[in-house]
Amino acid sequence: MSSTEPDKPCPFCALSNEHYLDQNDVGYVVRDLFPVNPGHTLIIPKRHVGSFFMLNRDEVDGLWQLMGRAKAQIDEAFAPVDYNIGINDGPHAGQTVPHVHIHLMPRYLNDTADPRGGVRRIIAERAIYSND
């Protein structure tokens, strides 16, 4: 059964705060259970909402504050060289848990043969847009 099915509880709403790495009034930070790279982290609003575009201004501001603190913690613990930040918003964008969450994905030297295109690689043939 997919986590997008209505009779299955939201895995993010079911998380207890013992899993939180950090939190504020509007959201919390956890490690991704299926990390792309070491330190892959999720920033999640406490209110169950499916789309980033349904968040209110206080939630957006609070989640970005948590993002900054999470980045500092990842820098110290894992020393990545760069980051990707991503939100899959809706099932056609790859969202499998219908509770908005922001991926903070640390990147490391040589973690992929060619990082050019970054998040544009969701459609691989459109990833490279220059002759460089």
Q: Domains of the chain: which residue ranges? A: 17-126
Residue 124: pLDDT over 80 = no
Q: Which residues contact 47 (CB under 8 A, 6 or more apart)?
A: 26, 59
The CATH homologous superfamily of the domain defined by 17-126: HIT-like (3.30.428.10)
Per residue in 33-58, pLDDT tens? 999 999 999 999 999 999 999 999 99
Q: What is the rounded distance in angstroms from the CA atom of residue 14 to the CA atom of residue 17? A: 10
pLDDT at 78: 98
Residue 122: pLDDT over 50 = yes
Q: Which residues are catalytic?
A: 101
Is the CB of residue 1 less than 8 Å from the CB of residue 8? yes
pLDDT at 121: 73
Mean of pLDDT over the chain: 90
Percent of the chain residues past pLDDT 70, beyond the cut: 86
pLDDT at 64: 98
Confidence of residue 113 (pLDDT cuts 50, 70, 90): confident
Residue 102: pLDDT over 50 = yes
pLDDT at 1: 29
Q: What is the rounded distance in angstroms from the CA atom of residue 67 to the CA atom of residue 42? A: 9
Q: What is the dihedral of CA 25, 26, 28, 32, to 10 degrees?
A: 180
Confidence of residue 3 (pLDDT cuts 50, 70, 90): very low
Per residue in 55-82, pLDDT tens? 999 999 999 999 999 999 999 999 999 9
